[in-house]
A and B are shown apart, each in its own frame.
Chain A
Amino acid sequence: MRLVGIWGYPDPEILKKYPDSEFIDLDINYNAPTSGILPDAYCRIMRNIVDNALFFRDRLDVIIASVGREKCDSGWFASHILKDMGFNVIETRYEKYNQTLDIPISRSNLPLKKKINLIMEGILTKTRNSFRETKPEFGFWGVPPNDLDFLDIFPGTTHVYGWTRCVEAGRPADLELEMFADDNVPTVFFAQAFCAKMQLAKYLAKKYSGLYVDIDDKASNSARAKIEAFIKLG
């Protein structure tokens, strides 16, 4: 089957031009072999994008690449690199919005991993399910991590903040919304190691007395244990 690759949050108007296509989110870790194109000490999500593009090269008709403030400079650079390598890349910027969508998934009682997966799937297909809102006992701020398994440490009463909440709200470059956190909700401020958002996560963790965590590939035992301790002591 032929594929349309995407990363970040492409402009929905561009995505509408591919109504019957099979999409693949290149941000996700599919265990593609390391291409060695990007440095080893680099954002794991960006390495996924480039490694996946190379791995699925024969099946990719086009890559719709998010290169504006809804993604990052690294996304823009990767787009240029892949174009230079002969990929068919369409760049999109999605920085202006007419509305703010509701965020029922971020506030729901679903397991955190499920919340994040549903929100990200919503870029291509919005769910029509209804969700039960829960009072937040904990918060998870950040982007969808490369390692989704450590999200199982969080209880269902964890609300989603940061860029992932912005995605659900349909405003992925809304920095004000991205920097929002609830004062009295103990929150883990997560950033992918080597990502520019480490700056925000570290700052906000201090501002809101939360826990700053950066993880590169898979969460180490220490990273998992400190999140667990934060939740149990929270």
Chain B
Amino acid sequence: MTTLKRYIDAGTSWTKILEINGDDKQAKIISTKDFAGLNLAYDNATGHMADKTRKYQNEVLSLAYGAKKLLNNPENATIVDIGSRDIKWVKFENGKYRDLDWNGSCGSVTGATVEMLCKFYGVDTAHLPPQDELIPVTCGVFGMEKIMDEIASNVPVNVALAKYIHGIAHNTWIFAKKPRKIYLSGGFCLNNCFIESLKYYCEVETLGRFVLVEGLYRYLTGSRLKR
């Protein structure tokens, strides 16, 4: 008889679930709102919406462990997770953890803002053409104001949004200390406009949306990372 183990990365908008049942391993994703309604038991959690008073592991550690696993112990790599709310990154150098950061508030409204804007203007993120120009997004509120100004100046909505996404990509690259290559984790792995915009500055390789939850599992079951 095997026992089901369930680990979750409860993000601001989406909850990533990893279920382990013996040799069987399944990854699922549902909206955090829906997940809350299911009242599913879980063995451990990471993510902004996780209940931090119980069974919780912080997201940067989960990212570090997940990246280590998915990249098979990288020698040199910068892994950036960018989702609905914030950006966090870890860097490995000579096979060891070297540096990290996590933006907390200013400039942190990222994926959720893009989703809201696309819904508001009825634009499919798959149809956003990457733009050479960018809208600065150090402050999300000022960034949104610029989008509205552009649209009011007859710039097509999808172009204005693509410039905003380019701004987020540029901000991400700067925040991660301008690496030569970024291994990308999180919801923006599905946003081609973001990926192509980020490629103006560095190489990009996507790791998908399950890096943190994989890292949570690895953290709880494997050996510990050290500087």
Contacts and interface: CB of A to CB of B under 8 A. Distances in A.
B202 to A, nearest CB: 19
Interface SS of chain A:
helix
A42 B99 CA distance: 29
B207 to A, nearest CB: 18
B31 interface: no
A233 B227 contact: yes
A158 B100 CA distance: 19
Interface stretch (A90-98, A118-126, A224-232): A224-232
B227 A234 contact: yes
A232 B95 CA distance: 17
Contacts of A225: 58-60, 102
Given A220-B105, A225-B58, A233 B100 contact: yes
B98 A229 contact: no
Contact of A232 (B61, B86, B88, B105): B61
Contacts of A226: 60, 88, 100-102
Contacts of A234: 226-227
Contacts of A211: 100-101
Given A229-B58, A233-B226, A222 B100 contact: no
A209 interface: yes
Interface in A185-211: 186, 209, 211
Interface string B36-77: 000000000000100010000011110010000000000000
B103 interface: yes
B194 interface: no
Interface string B97-118: 1111111110010000000000
A228 B52 CA distance: 13
Interface centre among A223, A226, A234 (most CB of B within 10 A): A226
Given A229-B58, A229-B64, A232-B61, A222 B227 contact: no
B225 interface: yes
B58 A228 contact: yes
B175 to A, nearest CB: 12
Contacts of A186: 227
A218 to B, nearest CB: 11
B225 A233 contact: yes
Contacts, number: 48
Contacts of A209: 98-99
Contacts of A233: 61, 64, 90, 97, 100, 225-227
B60 A220 contact: no
A220 B105 CA distance: 9
Contacts of B104: 220, 222-223
Contacts of B101: 211-212, 226
A230 B100 contact: yes
A221 interface: yes
Contacts of A220: 104-105
A201 B227 CA distance: 21
B113 to A, nearest CB: 17
Nearest to A219: B104
A233 B100 CA distance: 10
B226 A222 contact: no
Contact of B86 (A212, A222, A230): A222
Nearest to B105: A220
Contacts of A232: 61, 224
A225 B48 CA distance: 11
Given A221-B52, A234-B226, A234-B227, 20 more contacts: A186-B227, A211-B101, A222-B86, A222-B103, A222-B104, A222-B108, A223-B104, A225-B59, A226-B88, A226-B101, A226-B102, A228-B58, A228-B61, A229-B58, A229-B64, A229-B102, A232-B224, A233-B61, A233-B64, A233-B227
21 contacts: A186-B227, A209-B98, A221-B48, A221-B52, A222-B102, A222-B103, A222-B105, A222-B108, A223-B102, A225-B58, A226-B100, A228-B61, A229-B60, A229-B61, A229-B64, A229-B102, A233-B97, A233-B226, A233-B227, A234-B226, A234-B227
Nearest 8 CB-CB pairings of A with B: A222-B104, A229-B60, A225-B58, A226-B102, A233-B97, A220-B104, A229-B61, A222-B102
